[in-house]
Amino acid sequence: MHERCDVLVAGGGVAGSLISFFLASSGFEVILLEQKSRDDTMKVCGDAIGKHHFDNVGIPHPSGEELAGTFKGVKVVAPNEKDEVIVGGEGYALNRPLFIKRLRKMALDAGAELLDKHAVLKPIVDGSWLKGLEVFDLRAGERKEIEATVTIDATGVPAVVRSRLPAEWPVSEKVPPEDYDVCYREIIEMDGVETGYAVIYLSTVIAPGGYWWWFPKNERTVNVGLGVKGGGSSPNPQKNYEKYVRPKLGRIKLVIHAGGGICPTRRTISCMVWNGFVAVGDAACTANPIHGGGMGPAMLSAKSAAQAIEEALSREDPSVKGLWSYQNRYMELYGAKQAGLDVLRMYLQLMSDEELNFVFEKGVISSADVGEIGYKGDLGSTLISKVSSAIRLLSRPSLLARLKKVKDYMDKARELYYSYPKSPEDFKRWKIEVDELFEEYRSWLQGS
């Protein structure tokens, strides 16, 4: 069986549903594929998102049952669990399944067609072009081909389209296991949940390379979980959760949902488009490298990609060159910040609890500093100057030297991504510069 559409979107999560809405609203024929049934919208997630993302992409803010709770900021707690930094900024605790259903309804109301219970089998490749997907209808038990002018991978971490594209296409870039966080989380019901702040706890014992979190939804319900750096030497996050976190929680009345997941915590993949192809959301590694928040950046990538696709289709040029502007838009909005934060992430993962406690106990970095780092992806010169004075007084010259070096690499990475090439012809040169920078940085980290 053959079908045909303007845009074929694989994956009905945040990025896939939102980009389907944008493109269907612009009059394009959109088919949205989802492997699960349309009523199954559960995914393991922290369920937290900054309020500003809704303004940035221009969709209504959550309300009613979709809005489980609100945050007035984030607390970051030292390994000693005494010292903390509070970062202001309004956010939402979502009923994520209802949020996804809302985005899908928006897409369907705009004219998109949802094919649920459809699994991607393989891409349809014609020379240097992606022409659509071969899929399996799980209800009918049959294969079908769906051809499209543009195919979008919004399948999340598995990137089931992108990962099966020819190896010589830059978009098929392999992401190493250590650039992911492996997580376990529970949504639990208990009495007397303190609301107001999303809380992040740092500990190289409890959550090496990551953190454990406490994100209250309301006075009775909380999303609590643990993420660790991926790779062969990492502990099982569920075992660490049961050993270290659960004993801290007290009496749990009900575990509403539990499960594991994987989150990309790095800069984006280097190239997110090809002839007839676009990757968005976690399939393109758009999550924040420090805290792993993925819904907001996924929305930004969907918006940026939709604008580029609309322009490309209006010019009848869905080539890699015609779709290229998506990457420039996204790097300006979020990708350059991600690159800087990726540098910081790699350094933080090597810090000991003793060093982290020192930074918190001595007030080396303030709430405003942490907020600025999160907003810009930059260790500002003012901060470094302030830290220089504090650390000299506290006899920590080696820590100061390392922070200065990290700032230099963050600045270089951010500038490289702000200077993302304007055309495919300059990509190879840019990619060599990026690879050399991060290889140099890894070598310095290993020797520092």
Contact (CB, 8 A) for 10 and 16 = yes
What residues are paired with 146 via a beta bridge? Answer: 3, 133
What count of Cα atoms within 13 Å lies in the side-chain half-sphere of residue 228? 20
Assigned token pair, 309: 């696709």
pLDDT in tens, 41-79: 988 899 999 999 999 999 999 999 999 999 999 999 999
pLDDT in tens, 237-274: 999 999 999 999 989 999 999 999 999 999 999 999 99
Question: Which H/E stretch holds residue 338?
Answer: helix 336-348
Residue where the block lists tokens 């349309």: 38
Residue 9: C-alpha distances to residues 29, 32, 156, 187 (Å)? 11, 5, 12, 30
Q: What is the per-residue pLDDT for 386?
A: 56
DSSP letter string over 296-328?
Answer: HHHHHHHHHHHHHHHHHHHTT--SHHHHTHHHH
What residues are paired with 406 via a beta bridge? Answer: none
Given a cut of 70, the residues of the chain with pLDDT beneath it are: 1-2, 369, 371-397
Q: What is the per-residue pLDDT for 233?
A: 83
Q: What is the per-residue pLDDT for 402?
A: 84
Assigned token pair, 116: 């649920």
